Every structure is written in C-alpha cells, then in structure tokens.
Amino acid sequence: MSRKQSWVRGLGNALAMATNMAAAIALGLFAGKYLDGKLNTGYWMTLLGVLIGVATGLKIMYDHVMKEASKPFSLREDEDEDQVRPRPSREAIESLKAARLGLKEVETEVKKIHVRDEDENSEKEAPPSEEETSQQKEDGSA
C-alpha cells in the first residue's frame, strides 16, 4: 500500500471514530432531554445521557483502535485481510475439544434430569387406573 493510501485510510479511521463519538453523545443528550421532559427530573437525565454517550463513544473508539492494533504489522500496510488466514494453535484446538466433550456431558445430564422430571410429573398427573380404583374401594370397605 502506498504512503498516500495509508494516509487516506488513517484519515478515514479518524473521521469514523469522531463521527461515532459525536453520534453516541448526541443520542445520549437527546434521550436524556426526552426523559427529563417526561419525568420532570430537571437536568439529571440529560447529564446521565451525555455521560453514557461519552462512555459509549470511548468504548467504540477503544474497540476500533484495538482492532487495528491487533492486526499484524504487515497486514496493516501491505496485505488485505483475505490474504492472511491465521490458524489456531494445537493447544487452542485441544481445549476446544475438551470444552465440547464437557458440554456434551452436561447436555446428557440435563436430558436425564429433564426426562426424570417429566416422568415424575406424568405420574402425579395420571388418573388412577381401574385396578387402582377397585383396590382403593376394597381397602376402604375392609
């Protein structure tokens, strides 16, 4: 990537971050003013809305900067994202396999509990059979 293109990309990133920050603050401001009007809280909701907007804008900016910083240096300047395909380490793959097995075990346990609960509920709700009814009559008359 040429020097001119990287300058343009940097300017674009700066404008995007500034726009996101301004939009988050404006949204918080207008939402706070609306709530102040509805709830008659003076200026407290406006202040809270602006603070939440600033925090949101800073979070968006932080995420954007960290996304750019996490790219390899060669990718930032020379290559497109499609050309670089990172592969997970063997340790990461093994830990994911272990997690998958653990989830399967949990799933089978949950299914067992669910089936047991359904069986208990069906026994409680099932009307007595004719044999049970006749046996209860015999027990009551004896």
Token pair recorded at residue 89: 């380490």
Backbone angles phi, psi at 96, to 5 degrees: -65, -40
Do 15 and 65 lie in one domain? The reply is yes
Of 125 and 7, more confident: 7
Residue 137 lies in a domain: no
Helix/strand/coil for 22: helix
Ramachandran class of 2: left when φ > 0, alpha when ψ lies in -120 to 50, beta otherwise: beta
Res 22: pLDDT? 95
C-alpha span between 50 and 75 (Å, rounded) = 37
Are residues 45 and 15 both part of a single domain? yes
Give residue-wise pLDDT tens across range 45-61. 999 999 999 999 999 99
The percentage of residues in the chain with a pLDDT greater than 70, rounded to a whole number, is: 73
Neighbouring residues of 24: CB distance < 8 A, sequence distance ≥ 6: 53, 54, 56, 57, 60
The rounded distance, in Å, linking the Cα atoms of 44 and 24 is 18
* Same domain? 15 vs 59: yes
Q: Are residues 32 and 94 in the same domain?
A: no
62 belongs to a structural domain:
yes
Domain that holds residue 67: 3-77
Question: Which pLDDT score, from 0 to 100, does residue 33 have?
Answer: 94
Do residues 62 and 98 both lie within one domain?
no
Are 71 and 17 part of one and the same domain?
A: yes
Q: Report residue 42 as tokens.
A: 């003076």
- Is the model's pLDDT at 79 over the cut of 70? no
Distance (Å, whole) CA 142 – CA 134? 12
Q: How far apart are CA 93 and CA 30, in angstroms?
A: 47
As for how many domains the chain has, the answer is 2
